[in-house]
Copies of this chain bind each other. A is one copy, B any other.
């Protein structure tokens, strides 16, 4: 069994060799600009771990992992255009640097490149893997559409279960699919794949709740971001949707008023209302709840527990961030 770090090293070595054609230079420079931003590579490593949970890692898993990482980067390029984001991971976004038309195309060509990696997968499992990949890809697009629609709504109009569905589609499904495809390659059966998929899905939701929590309540020194960045950007988060759900009519007005302010005063007033509504404790309990559901599904997978070690360590690593 390999640790996250070991798998990351193996993956990076192959993924670095990822080569795009030389021309048209501008198109592929745009694609390369995205890839050099160096994400955490969580999704491709989940794919490798999904494979190794059931059997030794085979070449197919590296191809699938590369496809998944390219797919993820394709979504980032297009999401940044839709969200008009100037920066990502501290660097200028693809559309800011190369213009929107080239950024749209660079995303498109990266998605095609993702599918080209799937071509190398053993043909007996290729149809199933292509289906799992397409299914998740479609759901991620649906999640992004819902996210945009929510961003245009007042938070009081977003039911919590609709919000959770959106986050599940937009972020969790891809984590779940990464594990699922790894498991398919590892020869797992339907029941084990189901539990692994659900593990990934709930892990993703717990991670997203933590992300929102850190932005509001985390130590900005450790977290490396401005405290209350989401509040300043009027972003619809778990916390905000819950706050409006919990608030009485006077508190809703106070929230509305606080969101009309700006800067530190805005963050302070919103956070005070969050505290009064016990949003911090609620979020901690929700994260705990989803983590436990995830771990329950991991437990249900019928392989000896020593094989689950790397995934347990990953849960610990992802969900105990303070920064």
Does A254 have its Cβ within 8 Å of any Cβ on chain B? no
B21, B130, B141: the one contacting A119 at CB < 8 Å is B130
Residues in B whose Cβ lies below 8 Å from that of A141? 27, 105, 108-109, 112
A123 vs B121: C-alpha distance when bound (angstroms): 11
* Range of interface residues on A (Cβ < 8 Å): 35 or more
Interface hit among A44-52, A131-139, A210-218:
A131-139
The answer, yes or no, to whether A23 is at the interface (CB within 8 Å) is: yes
* Residue from A27, A107, A120, A141 having most chain B Cβ neighbours under 10 A: A141
Give the oligomeric copy count.
Answer: 2
- Contact of A123 (CB < 8 Å), options: B24, B124, B142, B144: B124
Among B101, B112, B131, contact of A137 (Cβ-Cβ < 8 Å): B112
Of the candidates B82, B116, B142, the one whose C-beta lies within 8 Å of that of A101 is B82
Contacts A123-B126, A126-B126 given; indicate if A142 touches B24 (C-beta within 8 A).
Answer: yes
Closest B residue to A83 by beta carbon equals B101
A23 touches B142 (CB 8 A): yes
Stretch at the interface among A145-153, A282-290, A298-306: A145-153
Q: Is the CB of A134 within 8 A of B149?
A: no
Q: Judge whether A191 is part of the interface by a CB distance below 8 angstroms.
A: no
Look across to chain B and name the residue whose beta carbon is closest to the beta carbon of A74.
B108
A141 CA to B20 CA in the complex, in Å? 13
Q: Check if A138 sits within 8 Å of B109, measured CB to CB.
A: yes
Tell whether A116 pairs with B142 under 8 Å between CB atoms, given A148-B101, A148-B102.
Answer: no
